[in-house]
Amino acid sequence: MMLVMSATRSGVTVRSIQEITIFTVGALSFQDLPFHVTPVSEEEHELNNRVPSRPTPELKFELDDEGDTLSNHNSITALLSSKFRDIQKRLKQYGIESPRFRKRLVSKWESLNYDVCENVLYIKEQEKYKSKKWVTLRWLSKWLVMFSIGIMTALLAATIHFVVEKLAHLKFDLIKHYFDDCAKNNCLYQPALMWMGINLVITVAGAALVTFLQPMAAGSGIPYIKSYLNGVKIPGLLTFRAFVAKTLGVVMSILGGLACGKEGPMAHSGSIIAAGLGRGRINFCNGKSISFYSAFRNDHEIRDFMAGGAASGVSSAFGAPIGGTLFSLEEAASFWNQDLTWRVFFSSMVACFATNFLISAINGDPTKLTDPGLVRFNAFKFDLKFDLIEIPVFIFMAVIGGLSGALFVVMNYKLTVFRKRYLNKNWIKIIEAGLVAMVSAAVAFGLMVGINDCTDKAPFDSHAVTAAVYCTDKKHNSLSTLFLTTPEGCLKALLHDPFESHGPVSLVAFVLIFFLLGVWTYGLSVSSGVFIPSLAIGAAWGRLVGIGVAHLMPENPNLQLDVGKFALIGAACQLGGILRTTISLTVIIVECTDDISFGLPIMIVLMISKWVGDFITTGLYDMNVEVMGIPTLPFECPPLCDDLRASDVMSHPLATFKTKEKVENIYRMLKEETFCGFPVIEDDPMAPGKGKLKGLILRNQLLVLLKKKIFCPEGQVPPRNITIKDFRDFYPVYLKVSEIDLSDEEKSYVMDLKPYYNPSPYTVEQKFSLPRVFNLFRGLGLRHLIVTDEKNMPMGMVTRKDLAKFRVGSKRGLVKIEQLKIEDK
Amino acid sequence: MMLVMSATRSGVTVRSIQEITIFTVGALSFQDLPFHVTPVSEEEHELNNRVPSRPTPELKFELDDEGDTLSNHNSITALLSSKFRDIQKRLKQYGIESPRFRKRLVSKWESLNYDVCENVLYIKEQEKYKSKKWVTLRWLSKWLVMFSIGIMTALLAATIHFVVEKLAHLKFDLIKHYFDDCAKNNCLYQPALMWMGINLVITVAGAALVTFLQPMAAGSGIPYIKSYLNGVKIPGLLTFRAFVAKTLGVVMSILGGLACGKEGPMAHSGSIIAAGLGRGRINFCNGKSISFYSAFRNDHEIRDFMAGGAASGVSSAFGAPIGGTLFSLEEAASFWNQDLTWRVFFSSMVACFATNFLISAINGDPTKLTDPGLVRFNAFKFDLKFDLIEIPVFIFMAVIGGLSGALFVVMNYKLTVFRKRYLNKNWIKIIEAGLVAMVSAAVAFGLMVGINDCTDKAPFDSHAVTAAVYCTDKKHNSLSTLFLTTPEGCLKALLHDPFESHGPVSLVAFVLIFFLLGVWTYGLSVSSGVFIPSLAIGAAWGRLVGIGVAHLMPENPNLQLDVGKFALIGAACQLGGILRTTISLTVIIVECTDDISFGLPIMIVLMISKWVGDFITTGLYDMNVEVMGIPTLPFECPPLCDDLRASDVMSHPLATFKTKEKVENIYRMLKEETFCGFPVIEDDPMAPGKGKLKGLILRNQLLVLLKKKIFCPEGQVPPRNITIKDFRDFYPVYLKVSEIDLSDEEKSYVMDLKPYYNPSPYTVEQKFSLPRVFNLFRGLGLRHLIVTDEKNMPMGMVTRKDLAKFRVGSKRGLVKIEQLKIEDK
């Protein structure tokens, strides 16, 4: 192989990527790699079709081990990236490198197939449905599925809400009684032990459920959902097991006293409901399943439904139908269309409405319709108005939120890496969860007893559990209203409790402890959300700011009333700093607050806290995605990369098939290569392996064909008894090569790929620029893009990972491009 | 030319399109057209790559007049559509056909170029900016421009608001005094004549301004803005003249007493501000201009800025920053990306905030920040709560809204067609506007005097002008609070006035009159919005429903209080029925109401009124777009079209250039053809005009090259002194062929197109299916898509109009596909 690299004079840019790449190689073993450097003639350079007026110094790399030639000037990148895995492996053998989790992509993550494979079978099937009746029926059934998604998500949300509230109340009531009794009788070790014991048992059960049933159910699931909507296949994410682990798990996490919420997991649960309803099939544990319909079994349709499910989940959690819709659409935005948007919005609205109805029914009167979501910030006893002079205070709070949010992310990142490296055994994970639950109880206990902040202000929630501990005269321990409740109740108390309910010392202690517990909890192997703890931390320090402002200006009694307003702003700042707000998060918070005039300061602080946080580190979810090495595509091609060409980033060489291919070749290729798509080329006996492109066939299709034995001895007509439904039956859990069993005779047969391959895959010419390749991937949701030469012969393949490996960072205000490694793990 | 058509047995579908097409041809002159029908052999059919198992009857059309061959089976559509113009012309010669405005596309509308032309010049320029400093600078300046857009839009909004409110108050105060005096002295003809006179003079001035300065400023501009964001170039839309006509025009329209609002035009004004700031240049009337910077002068950047401008306009009009952002993004949604979204949201928020500040300042206290937009529905004296049992009433109202909205659209459509046919002279347009203004005054006068509905309830707005007319005892004429104010004040009165302020008779009369005036006003040659009149009509009949409900259940006194709630729902229903709500409209109304709990019933009625309305006709804006024949692309390929291929819809034959082309050929081609893009092919002396595709060059580029005389005698080196800035200087008003002046000697020169053409245009293979071509256009914002054959030779070109001509309608619940004609006018 021969490659030419052209270094332009002004190029800080692509050159820098190449430099990094070369440096990595060079530092280790320049001699080890089979290439050497020779100059390139001026003529050859002219061929490269660049600006001819400026002479540029050039290098030429000649590889000894391969014969074919790549004529493009930039292909050093392509070569090196395809050589990367080898280098990485070798590095590991030398024991030099410890894994840098945020500088790599993991090769196991594959892309969804949003593009429809328009092969002959598909066209045949479409013919059948090509009547007005079928079009209308299909349209109606899509709306019906969306409706069901909304209803079922709401049912789930209301059930979880009911169960958690009732059981948590029982638990804390029990503890409170022991507390109050033992404070008098000096047996406080009893409630402490009891609290820790309850937490330990429930949390360990929840952690075991998640760890053994489906580890994908850990955490809030939002980073996974976002990645899925971005177009990455996440195996196990949308299964029945994940559903069970997620829903039961989140109940146990909250009852187990962890600093987590049930709102994030709702988005995941809603998505699973949507995927299940879309597939029309439930898979149970031991391979059994019930199947109802199969019309929507492809990535395209399932992803559309899932957008509705995620939106419904968010909508029932926060009573935010618009925010939920935006949440789904901003990641899957390249596939936004008005029809889908309406359907997503519809299911989101149905979910909100049904949740409202059910929770109102639980609260006594189903026709009142005043609780559209599980958590709301709208119970303020005053109008949320703001004055221009308060804006600077809000901005100051936003900066604090951004900074502390960045700290949260950094600490959690360190912890995550530590966990990945050392706490990767199942039993250790479960023990850690139990430990966190016990420490949560112990610390809360210690604070309540140690600070003993007594107040006589009645808490906002008349059902709240308040313990007196050492307080007398009808007073109660102010921290008990924060700790003897779910994190959600704690948030509500911080927002709505009257002025002087919580003293500054209690609040400072609460912020510190809850911050640390929040960092420790997020990432445990339990089903848990990070929204509520973030909001609670922010509300606590926001309340502190409110108290401070009220003390600075004692002549204004309104400020005392406004302490909840500052708590709300603080909550928004903290959430913005940790998660880095997007449009959808802004809308969710505004909808949750139920007051649009006050939306303006909320939007301002969310934006500022995002900017401040982004200056230091990425957001929490993005950090998660990076650590897992999921190749999500950004919205635009990174800057400074626009003179990279398709041929520079493509994978090369290609594995191709002829239109009539020997079964043996297919079998061997599937076994040896990990590619998911193979170009099909014209069978040219003169130049084997060099024919014109005919189409693209997927690994999954080939496996089904092999499994169903759709082949025959050469010259005979194959028994054509396969339909598109046969392929769908294997969706979404595809076959593995190891499940294929072929006799030697069968291996000598040939397979006619013509009816199965996609006859018009997307292709680009090799000189196509990276930004435009990017647009194609984002705009069309591609999985494979074939790069062809001038004669329409396939040269290479661009996949999601080839693009995702260029990552832009804007740390500390400077634009930075890095090229990630692709690793196996 | 030879074409094969294959009719499948089950195909109601594509076949039906072909049938329609053939029918149109056949009905007129089957002999006239130069083709005859012959059968196709089975072999040829096999070649067509369809399901081979079912034999299909086939027809073959052979054309005598052209030599080349199209091998694709479906190309009858392509042939006929390219023949369409001739047929249309002939039809007109026969005088058979009157123009059917909603069944055609007008050829003058061209596409925007969202795709970047990556020629050598561009790469050269990019090199210069390829440093971190430049990337950051460019990023910052984009944010700065967005900030300025927000501020300037807010300034404009506040100024218009101030001027209109003050002057309207003066006008109506004057009339009121004459009214009250003359009611006693029997000289009521005086206020009537005075009112009509004032209206006539101001409206005629406004209409003359719009008609002569820039007719594009007529109406609300929203259909144009939506089309522009969809990717259609609208000449004159974003000029300084349009700005002047729009802003002064809307002030005059409202002062002239027309039934229109100033909110719709704000979106247009905001867009013009954005385009001006983006281009960095102001063009004055007589060809003079001031230029500041040119870095953003291309369709891509201007469209992004314009999204921010439109969002800012909506945001200042309604105080709806989220709704404004969605408004911009839902049409331009294929280009949604998070960075752009943030910028649009930012400018939208800045506009909202600045408007809030300025209007609060006008109202007395700039720090109160309680007026984020020009119109708000949030002044209810009670909490907007709703009960489940009210939902059926709301749904009933939504159905009414949908039906009456559809009636509005149908009536306005008939009127628009009538105007296009008979009222197309400038002076007639101005007279019509004056007539409407006078009739508005006369009818209002007649109603006030004729009904004489006296009330003693003080109006909600303490500054409202109330006339007593014949009323005594401190009572006033209830209709005077509706007519002696701007339409906006009228809307506020209907929403917020106390129960019994307006009697049922007055309301019925008001609804009827305002509905008819609204229909008549929309489409006049004046700058006017349709939001406010729609809302006012709906609020009036909503109030009627509220009165009815209160009378049905007299035991519930709350219902009397709730009359404003019904008015609000009625307003939403009517607006939804007329405009057909999208997500953005829903959010705008919810933000305007400032109460998210109540957002749920609003969303429900908006959705239902949309469905009911859609069952009968398209929405008002869509109707406008259809009448103007603008080729907007829907979000998805119409159903039933998925076996159409790229070769079926492409324009054919192509005009191509060689990489070194004779100036004479270029000049002649530009003069004779209307194409906007030309494929550049390899110069193959063996087969002239049949070379491999090298790139794509645009008409605008060629015109600039000819103008700048970038050519030389064959064999010489051209004087290469042209940069990308030279092209930008002609943006967006491009040269015309008539402006090119070439000597005979110059015509014999050759032009080297290599540095200028786009070397990697998007291409597809001829068998690419229509849905996927559609995705490419929507997803990438393409203007030209070159269709190539297997040897990479250009066969034809697909443009926006080729796709937009397939229109799907779902009238009366049935899916319907029609193929529009492309006409010159």
Q: How many angstroms separate the first and last alpha carbons of chain B?
A: 29
Phi-psi region of B715 (alpha: psi -120 to 50; beta: other; left: phi over 0): left
CA B819 to chain A, closest CA, distance in angstroms equals 17
Contacts of B184 (CB under 8 A, 6+ apart): none
Q: Which residues of A touch B130 (CB under 8 A)?
A: 10-13, 640, 643
What DSSP state is assigned to residue B17? H
Residue A83 contacts by C-beta under 8 Å, 6 or more apart in sequence? A25, A33
Out of B120, B132, B378, the one facing A814 most closely (by C-beta) is: B132
The pLDDT value given to residue B93: 54
Name beta bridge partners: B794: B788
Model pLDDT, residue A21? 31
Give the model's pLDDT for residue B401. 96
Name the 3-class secondary structure at B639. Answer: coil
The whole-number pLDDT of residue A580 equals 86
Indicate whether B333 pLDDT > 80: no
Q: Is B335 exposed, middle or buried (0-12, 13-18, 19+ CB in 10 A)?
A: buried
Q: What residues of B are in contact with residue A337 (Cβ under 8 Å)?
A: 333, 635-636, 778
Q: What is the pLDDT of residue A283?
A: 67
Residue A281: strand pairing partners:
A291
Pure H helices in A95-232: 120-128, 132-185, 189-213, 222-230
Residue owning tokens 């019906």: A144
Do the Cβ atoms of B695 and B759 come closer than 8 Å? Answer: yes
Tokens of A626: 């990076």
| CA distances for A216 relative to A307, A578, A773, B47, B315, angstroms | 19, 22, 32, 49, 41
**Which residues contact residue A506 at a Cβ distance below 8 angstroms, ignoring those fewer than 6 apart?**
A447, A451, A453, A478, A479, A482
pLDDT at A662 over 70: yes
CB contact under 8 A, A772 and B115: yes
Strands B794-799 vs B104-106: parallel, antiparallel or unpaired: unpaired
Contact A356 B50 (CB under 8 A): no
DSSP B427-444: HHHHHHHHHHHHHHHHHH
Least confident of A418-432, A679-693, B159-173, B343-357: A679-693
Residue A741 distance to chain B (closest CA, Å): 30
Is residue B268's pLDDT more than 70? yes
Closest CA to A539 of A574, A505, A512, A509: A574
Report pLDDT digits (tens) over B591-609. 888 777 777 788 889 989 9
Asked if B370 and A792 come within 8 Å (Cβ–Cβ), the reply is no
**pLDDT tens per residue, range B642-685:** 778 888 888 877 888 888 888 888 888 888 887 888 999 887 77
Question: What local confidence, expressed as pLDDT, does residue B46 receive?
Answer: 43
Optimal mutation site among A123, A146, A229, A322, interface B, most CBs of chain B within 10 A: A322
Considering A48-62, A687-701, B118-132, the range whose residues carry the highest mean pLDDT is A687-701
Nearest to A333 among B319, B336, B385 (CB): B336
Q: Which of A415, A407, A406 is nearest to A101 (CA)?
A: A415
Instruction: Summarize the confidence of residues A171-197 as an average pLDDT.
Output: 88
Q: How far, in Å, CA of B369 to CA of A600, rounded?
A: 10
Nearest one of A599, A784, A67 to B315, comparing CA atoms: A599
CB A493 within 8 A of CB A459: yes
3-state secondary structure B340-392: HHHHHHHHHHHHHHHHHHHHHHHCCCCCCCCCCCCCCCCCCCCCCCCCHHHHH
Using 50, 70 and 90 to split pLDDT, how confident is the model at A814? low
CB contact under 8 A, B767 and A760: yes
- Among chain A residues, CA nearest to B810: A136
What are the tens digits of pLDDT across the range B8-20? 322 222 222 333 2
For the cut 60, the answer to whether the pLDDT of residue A686 exceeds it is yes
- The model's pLDDT over A259-303, given as tens digits with 9 standing for 90+, comes to 998 888 999 999 999 998 888 777 666 666 777 777 777 788 888
Q: Are B806 and B638 contacting, i.e. CB atoms less than 8 angstroms apart? A: yes
| Range B78-99 average pLDDT | 48
Q: Which of B514, B577, B578, B579 is nearest to B540 (CA)?
A: B514
Rg (CA), chain A: 30
Answer whether residue A718 shows pLDDT above 80: no
- Residue B799: its pLDDT value, please? 87
CA distance A224 to chain B (A): 19
Quick check: A237 pLDDT over 80? yes
Q: Percentage of residues in chain B with pLDDT exceeding 70? A: 82
What pLDDT score was predicted for residue A334? 55
pLDDT above 50 for A61: no
pLDDT at A231: 84
pLDDT in tens, B448-503: 888 888 888 888 887 888 888 788 878 888 888 889 899 989 998 998 888 888 88
Chain-chain contact of B597 with A370 (C-beta, under 8 angstroms): yes
CA B167, B171, B175: angle at the middle one, nearest 5? 165
Q: Above 70 in pLDDT, residue B286?
A: no
Crossing angle of helices B620-628 and B563-579, rounded to 10° = 20
For a pLDDT cut of 90, what percent of chain A falls above it?
Answer: 25
Q: Rounded to 5 degrees, what angle do the CA atoms A456, A462, A467 make?
A: 50
Task: Give the containing element (helix H, strand E) for B696.
Answer: strand B693-698
Q: What's the rounded mean pLDDT across residues A397-415?
A: 94
How high is the pLDDT of residue B825?
A: 66
Looking at residue A810, what is its pLDDT? Answer: 59
Could you tell me which chain A residue has the CA closest to the CA of B777?
A779
> How many Å apart are CA A259 and CA A75, to the nearest integer?
50
A599 has pLDDT over 70: yes
Higher pLDDT, A379 or A411: A411
Give which of A283, A271, A185, A183 is closest to A224, Cα–Cα: A271
- Angle (nearest 5°) at CA B132 between B131 and B137: 100
Cα B246 to Cα B264: distance, rounded to the nearest angstrom: 11
Pick from A619, A602, A495, A603: which is nearest to A220 by CA? Answer: A619
* Chain B residues with beta carbon closer than 8 angstroms to that of A139: 815
Nearest to A823 by CA among A323, A310, A105, A327: A105
Chain A residues closer than 8 Å to B13 by CB: 130-131
User: Are A595 and B600 within 8 A, CB to CB?
Assistant: no
Select from B369, B597, B769 the Cβ nearest to the Cβ of A760. B769
Crossing angle, helix A321-331 and helix B583-593, to 10 degrees?
140
Nearest CB partner across the interface for A597, out of B136, B357, B372: B372
Pull the structure tokens for residue B418. 């009538």
Of residues B265, B267, B227, the one with CA closest to residue B629: B227
Question: Percentage of chain A surpassing pLDDT 70?
Answer: 82
Over residues A180-184, the mean pLDDT reads 83
DSSP A720-778: ----HHHHHHT-SS---GGG----HHHHTSEEE-TTTSBSS--EEETT-BHHHHHHHHH
- For A154-173, give one letter per residue: b (16+ CB within 10 A) or e: bbbbbebbeebbebbbebbe
Per-residue pLDDT of B410-442, as tens digits, reads: 999 999 988 988 888 899 999 999 999 999 999
What is residue A527's predicted lDDT score, i.e. its pLDDT? Answer: 92
Quick check: A798 and A649 in contact, CB under 8 A?
yes
The C-alpha atoms of residue A640 and residue B129 are separated, in whole angstroms, by 9
State which residue of chain B sits closest to A376, comparing Cα positions: B597
Nearest CA in chain A to B126: A642
Scanning every residue of chain A, which has its alpha carbon at the shortest distance from the alpha carbon of B590?
A596
Q: Tokens 């006619």: give the residue.
A: A752
For A810, name the nearest residue in chain B, comparing CA atoms only: B136
**Lowest-pLDDT range of A221-230, B281-290, B772-781:** B281-290
Instruction: Share the mean pLDDT of chain A.
Output: 79
Q: Does the distance separating the beta carbons of B369 and A386 come in below 8 Å?
A: yes
Is pLDDT at B383 greater than 70 in this prediction? no
Return mean pLDDT, chain B. Answer: 79
Looking only at the bridges linking them, the beta strands covering A110-111 and A104-106 are unpaired
> How far apart, in Å, are the Cα atoms of A641 and each of B82, B129, B544?
41, 12, 63
pLDDT one-digit tens code per residue, B512-542: 999 999 999 998 999 999 999 999 999 999 9
Q: Long-range contacts for A725-734 (Cβ within 8 Å, ≥24 apart)?
A: A725/A294, A727/A121, A727/A700, A727/A701, A728/A294, A728/A297, A728/A298, A729/A294, A730/A700, A730/A703, A730/A704, A731/A279, A731/A297, A731/A298, A732/A233, A732/A238, A732/A279, A732/A297, A732/A299, A732/A302, A733/A283, A734/A699, A734/A700, A734/A703
At residue B58, the pLDDT reads 37
